Amino acid sequence: MIALINATIVLPDHYIRDGVLLMQDGRIVDFGEQNKVVVPSGAEVIDARGAYVGPGLIDIHTHAGGAHYFHENPQAAAEHHLKSGTTSLLPALAYWMNEAEYLTAISLIRAEMGHGSGRTIRGLYMEGPFLNPKYGAERENLPWPEVVAPGQYERLVAAAGSLAKVWCVAPERRGVEGFVRYIHERYPEALFSVAHSEAEPWQIELFIPLGLRLATHHTNATGTIQRYPECRGVCVDETVNYNDDITAEIISDSRGIHVDPYMQRLIRKIKGRDRLILISDATAHGGPVPKEGDYAGVTDLNFDYAGEIAGSKLTLSAACGNFIKHTGAGLCDAFCHASRNPARLLGWTDRGEIRRGAVADLVIVDAFMTVQQVFLDGEPLERIARN
């Protein structure tokens, strides 16, 4: 048994100061105030020295870790995120892949799950293939047909199977409804996300009964429709904000480039604690960082060779720290956005918050989510690395 003492335990709506947390056999056994939890004789004691102890982070949308894409080196990518406190994640496979590349990536990632740092991989986030080619990086020469039709996607869906937890779609694509219904009939637990889209409200809301519950990197790679001069139309962002059934992903980089800090505060005000998820959307794009203009000196974004933003260099803990600084949110909310909410969205009842019986995936952090120590299945990360 391991006992964390002198911990500030982070729960969804409050802290436990001078807390103790006990974990054994990969699970949280007990926690509470120091004078109410007995540390058994013989337990290994780790002093948190007043730091914050929260649930391990869950990144549902990340293409890469450090210099490694998940579809090329899943272990190295997962290890990069694990060191920064992400104990569960969904590797994202992008829309610019052709069928053969998708199938190879799925096979490789599936083989690496369950051992090493691949233990943190708990499914796939399919960012494509049927998105709007007008939006997003690397959008030239996309390999999938303009009109979605049977015969194009069956092998991909079969290969991904139940491993695909989220499928991203642009609801305005011709024929995409058939694709969504095909998946929903075979894998009813799969969720859908509106992504890289300029769909109108009715097109998005059509898919809510079929499992559309998410908005991919909200306010990024979305269009708007203007029917009347000088009158703003209603499109993806407004539909996501309006619908309580849809949870919004946010990329919070250090300078608020993906999502302006004011917009982050607005989305937080609209979506509240429960319907906002922080993501890294990390990539390993190698385009040069602009030396002039608005992007000059940016350290946590990636760019394609056309000079456009192509994801981030973020870890989820860094995104949480940025979100705290940009919005004034506290750690309780940050852990909800980066752990509890993604777990709830995906139906993972054994993780995402600190409670008795939950998986002992934990992080020790400071007030701005700088990670001091990570526990995976109740074991300190440094011990796992040695073994």
Q: How confident is the model over 159-218, as pLDDT tens digits?
A: 999 999 999 999 999 999 999 999 999 999 999 999 999 999 999 999 999 999 999 999
pLDDT on residue 231: 85
pLDDT digits 0-9 by tens, 51-71 = 999 999 999 999 999 999 999
Q: Based on the domain organization, do 19 and 75 belong to the same domain?
A: no
| Average pLDDT score over residue span 19-34 | 98
pLDDT digits 0-9 by tens, 120-154 = 999 999 999 999 999 876 666 678 888 999 999 99
Query: Strand (E) positions, 227-291?
Result: 247-251, 276-279
Q: Based on the domain organization, do 72 and 172 belong to the same domain?
A: yes
Evaluate whether residue 387 is within a structural domain: no
d(CA 86, CA 114): 15
Q: Based on the domain organization, do 74 and 218 belong to the same domain?
A: yes
User: 3-state class of 134 per DSSP?
Assistant: coil
Residue 387 predicted with pLDDT over 60: no
pLDDT on residue 304: 80
d(CA 93, CA 70): 8
Q: Based on the domain organization, do 375 and 327 belong to the same domain?
A: no
Q: Based on the domain organization, do 117 and 240 belong to the same domain?
A: yes
User: Which two tokens mark 118?
Assistant: 């691949």
pLDDT on residue 307: 78
pLDDT on residue 131: 95
pTM for the structure as a whole: 0.96
Phi, psi (deg, nearest 5) at residue 300: -120, 20
**Helix segments in the chain, DSSP class H:** 74-83, 99-112, 154-160, 176-186, 201-205, 236-242, 261-271, 316-327, 331-335, 341-346, 381-386
Q: Are the C-beta atoms of 307 and 296 separated by less than 8 Å? A: no
| Average pLDDT score over residue span 84-93 | 99
**What is the CB neighbour count within 10 angstroms for residue 233?**
13
Q: Based on the domain organization, do 116 and 142 belong to the same domain?
A: yes
**Helix segments in 35-193, DSSP class H:** 74-83, 99-112, 154-160, 176-186
Confidence of residue 285 (pLDDT cuts 50, 70, 90): confident
Evaluate whether residue 386 is within a structural domain: no
Residue 274 predicted with pLDDT over 60: yes
Q: Based on the domain organization, do 154 and 42 belong to the same domain?
A: no
Residue 222 predicted with pLDDT over 90: yes
| Average pLDDT score over residue span 273-300 | 89
Residue 386 predicted with pLDDT over 60: no
Residue 286 predicted with pLDDT over 70: yes
Evaluate whether residue 308 is within a structural domain: yes
Evaluate whether residue 33 is within a structural domain: yes
Q: Based on the domain organization, do 32 and 131 belong to the same domain?
A: no
Evaluate whether residue 352 is within a structural domain: no
Q: Based on the domain organization, do 121 and 148 belong to the same domain?
A: yes
Q: Look up the domain containing 366 and give its range.
A: 2-53+357-380
Pairing of strands 247-251, 276-279: parallel
Q: Based on the domain organization, do 331 and 264 belong to the same domain?
A: yes
CATH number for the domain spanning 23: value is: 2.30.40.10
pLDDT on residue 294: 83
d(CA 350, CA 335): 15
Evaluate whether residue 366 is within a structural domain: yes
Q: Based on the domain organization, do 186 and 48 belong to the same domain?
A: no
Evaluate whether residue 385 is within a structural domain: no
How many structural domains comprise the chain?
2
pLDDT digits 0-9 by tens, 238-259 = 999 999 999 999 999 999 999 9
Evaluate whether residue 351 is within a structural domain: no
Q: Based on the domain organization, do 39 and 68 belong to the same domain?
A: no
Angle at 17 between CA 13 and CA 20, to 5 degrees: 105
| Average pLDDT score over residue span 287-312 | 85
CATH number for the domain spanning 214: value is: 3.20.20.140
pLDDT on residue 352: 98
Pairing of strands 362-365, 371-376: antiparallel
pLDDT on residue 137: 67
